[in-house]
Amino acid sequence: MTATKVWEYRNVPDLFSSAVGSAVRLSNGNIVVDFGVDPVTEGPSIYTVVEAGPAGNAVASTTISSPGKGDQNRATPIGSLNAETEGSVLPGQ
């Protein structure tokens, strides 16, 4: 059996997850990478989620602090929080 690397994203600075995490390919070819548990940070759990392009470059990134909460095991991309569509007007606007 042979494994072949087909894509790679490496965060700067390097991140390591001691458990969990996920990678989900979007319809535009980008990949959402959830680094899961940061074992180095003391105090509140810090989670990093990155949207990376096909060339392995970061397109968007966020960190989430979750004091007293359990581990984050995946990031699930969604199209909308309020079912709005591109160009729509939200109620009251």
Residue 93 reports pLDDT greater than 90: no
Tell me if the pTM is above 0.85: no
Contacts within 8 Å (CB) and 24+ apart, 63-67:
67/43
Residues 26-69: tens digit of each pLDDT: 989 999 998 877 666 566 677 888 999 999 999 999 887 777 66
Residues 1-30: tens digit of each pLDDT: 999 998 899 988 888 777 778 888 998 999
The stretch 62-87 carries a mean pLDDT of 70
Strands, E, within the chain: which ranges? 22-25, 31-34, 45-52, 58-66
- Asked whether 19 and 70 are in contact (CB, 8 A), the reply is no
Q: Where are the domains of the chain?
A: 22-66
